[in-house]
Amino acid sequence: MTSLASKSNVQLIKDPRYIRNIGLLVGGIVLLLAAVLVGLMAGAISLPAAEVWTALVRDSDSEARQIVWNLRLPRVLTGMLAGACLATSGAFLQGVFRNPLADPGIIGVSSGGGLAAVVIMILFPAQIAYLPMAAFFGALGAAVVVYILAWKGGASPLRLILAGVAVNSLLGAGMTTLMILNSEKVQAVLPWMSGSLNGRSWPHFDALLPYTIVGGLASIFLIKQANLLVLGDDTAKVLGNRVETGRLLIILLSTFLAGAAISIVGMVGFVGLVVPHIVRLLAGGNYRILLPLSAIGGAALVVMADTAARSWFDPIEFPVGILLALLGAPFFLYLLRKGLGK
């Protein structure tokens, strides 16, 4: 298969991925910056880049400053953080489950957070301020229940997925029941259910930022763990890894990140599924590059999708989650077909 390279040639063969990965990182950052810039420029009133820049750097009472600094910037930044959290979470879970279909929904994050949010919105509308906290703990609770149900001398990926399916359908049934019994209040719930950045501002950003920082730092320490788990349980054990502890830590971190994101922006789907998938196709399966690229890609995707959702359909504000699903589903089918062709 390979021609016999001479000794001097061997020295010259350097890892071709190194250059490519740096290129991908730079490309990802440029894409994200472009998405942010367009996100600040586009909207009901479009502003040229120069005006956006002036509004960003100079404090004034101008209308542009109002729009850019108080409306668009916090929304774009919140979308960035949420996208990064969701994509990181998905990238981790796909590795832990060794299943390309895994996303934060698989361990009950969406249904647990969703049920908690619906309970607050429908049954305790006065306590709406506690919605993010309820959604976060709902997500965490559901994931813990899934994990406990899957445990049988160890939590194998297959049992985790099966337990996740069961818990998801149970919580989903609860959510639907609540909504049917209170159909007059469903209107208020729907935008949250489909994931929306509408009206997200500095307080939302301030709430999400510490979670993102803590989760991001923890992610760095779990990269090695994820890289071992993808080799399979047996191999990871033979390499001296404590498989169950590592898997639990990664599941907890993924739940933490995704739970924080959906508690602020609602049930935004597809980011956690599609972004790590694309990144894996481009950059390969090493978490040292897969994880940062997924975070950047997720941030860029949510910012772009939200910009489209609020400017394409003006004056209607489209929930970003629906747009992501509308674009994400066909793309995912395309990936599946491409995979089948191999």
Partner 1 sequence: MNAALSASDLKYGYRTNTVIEGFDLDVKPGEWLGIVGPNGSGKSTVLRMLARLIQPHHGTVAMYGECISGMSTKAIAKKLTMLSQTQEAALDITVRELVRRGRNPHLNWYEECRGEHEKVVDWALQSTKMTELQHRSLLALSGGERQRAWLAMCMAQSPEILLLDEPTTYLDIAHQLELMELIRGLNKEQSLTVVMVLHDLNQAARYCDRIVAIKDGAVVREGRPSEVFQPQFFREVFGIEAKIHDDDGIPFYLPCGIACEREG
The residue ranges that bind partner 1 (CB under 8 A) are 1-2, 4-5, 10, 13-17, 98, 221, 224, 227-228, 230-232, 234-235, 237-242, 280, 284-286
One-letter amino acid at 41 equals: M
User: Closest separation between CB of residue 2 and partner 1, Å?
Assistant: 6
φ/ψ of residue 314, rounded to 5: -45, 130
Degrees, nearest 5: CA angle 330-336-337? 90
Residues 185/129, Cβ–Cβ less than 8 Å: no
Which residue, 51 or 244, is less far from partner 1 as judged by CB? 244
Integer CA distances (angstroms), 69 to 64, 82, 307, in order: 8, 19, 16
Using CA atoms, how far apart are residues 124 and 198, in angstroms rounded to an integer? 22
Residues 259/115, Cβ–Cβ less than 8 Å: no
User: Closest separation between CB of residue 93 and partner 1, Å?
Assistant: 16
User: Closest separation between CB of residue 88 and partner 1, Å?
Assistant: 19
User: Closest separation between CB of residue 294 and partner 1, Å?
Assistant: 14
Which residue, 14 or 152, is less far from partner 1 as judged by CB? 14
Which residue, 182 or 286, is less far from partner 1 as judged by CB? 286
Query: Which positions ≥6 away from 232 have C-beta within 8 Å?
Result: 98
Integer CA distances (angstroms), 6 to 1, 13, 16, 66, 280, in order: 15, 11, 19, 66, 33
Residue-level length of the chain: 342
One-letter amino acid at 309 equals: A
Which residue, 23 or 284, is less far from partner 1 as judged by CB? 284
Which residue, 15 or 59, is less far from partner 1 as judged by CB? 15
User: Closest separation between CB of residue 231 and partner 1, Å?
Assistant: 6
User: Closest separation between CB of residue 221 and partner 1, Å?
Assistant: 8
